[in-house]
Amino acid sequence: MSRETVLALLRLEEGGFVSGEHLSRRLGLSRAAVWKAVDALRRDGYDIEARTGLGYRLMAAPDVLTEEELRSLLGKTETVGRKLCCFSQVSSTNTYAKGIALTGAPDGTVVIANSQTAGRGRRDRSFLSPPDRGIYLSVLLRPDLPPERLTPVTAMAGVAVCNAVERVCGVRPGLKWPNDPVLENKKLCGILTEMSVEAESGHVQYLVLGIGLNVLQGPGDFPPELEEIATSLSISLRRNVSRPALAAAEIEALDRLYADLRAGDLSRYLEIYRRDCVNLGKTVQLSGADGSQEIVTAEGIDDTFGLVVRDQAGHVRTVRSGEVSVRGMYGYV
């Protein structure tokens, strides 16, 4: 705890010095205990300079998704992130979150991992989750809402991820319907929402929203079958980006999303989604779960984030994310 607070106080100074006396007063600890916390942080990879008469200053932080690092970057959140479960490796953050949902983990618990051995995607696909490259994050939500009020959550999460990326990196990804943030026409992030509903009453027991964001992968890090359709922030921006800063921004954006979802306030998300959806006005291929394929034109987004399409006979209808997947005619988008 003292390490987290020392780190947060050093961060507040943005590279400036903080005196040992100030730290010990704020923490209610002896100067020796402050020194011990600084020493422990250094062993965790933090570069902290100590200067006589000036105190301590944070020179560099490691790119790690630890609770200590995330807490020092996270602003105040209402629900999401109040509890953080951070792992170096886990089978799947969604699977873990579903497990702890059954043992009473609180609303808003975030599970985050540096790598996944069995990351899961939509339609039973796997999600490649190598160590030190991406952010694999799931949030456990226990909304007191009927299932039909929750269908927009995945599309809203797409908007939330784009908000976080824009805030930290200064670039705004587009959104490929239903919810993939994309950069340069390639997939940057995948989102998988899973929900448990009590069959008899229709009561939502929990919802797990899982987000896999490609951050530090280099050009050679994707296998050949993904090279043409996947990208990372590092590849697109041609520079490295801090994963902990992005993870903290994601958690804050998800906290806002959750408050807006409960308040039924979807209008801003819809407006942004319609502006950023890269499929609109384009010819796309719909693939049904049964293997059927159809070429249509994507014309709009309805009020629950359904895709309004015109088929080749000129008929207009709305498709929902559970029914079909969309692929552009000339590539991923």
Residues of this chain that interact with ligand BTN (CB under 6 A) are 92-94, 116, 119-122, 125, 127, 136-138, 190-192, 210-212
Cβ 76 to ligand BTN shortest distance, Å: 24
Cβ 96 to ligand BTN shortest distance, Å: 8
Cβ 19 to ligand BTN shortest distance, Å: 41
Cβ closest to ligand BTN, residue 3 vs residue 98: 98
Cβ closest to ligand BTN, residue 46 vs residue 206: 206
Cβ closest to ligand BTN, residue 35 vs residue 332: 332
Cβ 71 to ligand BTN shortest distance, Å: 20
Cβ 212 to ligand BTN shortest distance, Å: 3
Cβ closest to ligand BTN, residue 55 vs residue 134: 134
Burial code (b: 16+ CB inside 10 Å, e: under 16) for 254-288 equals bbbbbebbeeeebeebbebbeebbbbbebebebbe
Cβ 194 to ligand BTN shortest distance, Å: 9
Cβ closest to ligand BTN, residue 11 vs residue 83: 83
Cβ 39 to ligand BTN shortest distance, Å: 34
Count of CB atoms situated within 10 Å of the CB of 231: 25
Cβ closest to ligand BTN, residue 247 vs residue 270: 247
Give the residue closest to ligand BTN by C-beta: 190
Cβ closest to ligand BTN, residue 93 vs residue 232: 93
